[in-house]
């Protein structure tokens, strides 16, 4: 679970540096589809609703961090 949170957080920061809000919506939808596919294939590490919510929160929080870093860098370039 920890590696999932780290991976999703890294993706969120990178998305925040480059993309705007529609990318976050698409990434969350991809997370939902991936969770259903993971559970449907019967792979180990069943994704529960709680785990999905933790991953979605980590993604959104990291996205906000990426947005703030991008805004700071843009402000320093001027």
Residues of the domain holding 52:
2-77
pLDDT per residue as tens digits for the range 4-53: 899 999 999 999 888 888 888 999 999 999 888 888 888 787 788 888 89
**Element (DSSP H or E) covering residue 27:** helix 21-41
Q: What is the C-alpha separation between 30 and 34, in angstroms, rounded?
A: 6
- In the chain, the number of structural domains is 1
Q: Go through the chain and tell me how many residues it has.
A: 78
Residue 27 CB coordination number (10 Å) = 19
Cα separation values, 43 from 10, 37, 46, Å: 23, 9, 7
Instruction: Kindly tell me if the per-residue pLDDT of 78 is higher than 80.
Output: no
């Amino acid at each position: 679970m920890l590696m999932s949170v780290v991976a999703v957080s890294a993706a969120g920061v990178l998305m925040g540096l480059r993309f705007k809000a529609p990318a976050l919506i698409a990434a969350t939808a991809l997370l939902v589809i991936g969770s259903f596919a993971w559970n449907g294939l019967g792979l180990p590490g069943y994704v529960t609703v709680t785990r999905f919510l933790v991953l979605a929160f980590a993604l959104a929080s990291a996205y906000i961090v990426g947005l703030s870093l991008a805004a700071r860098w843009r402000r320093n370039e001027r």
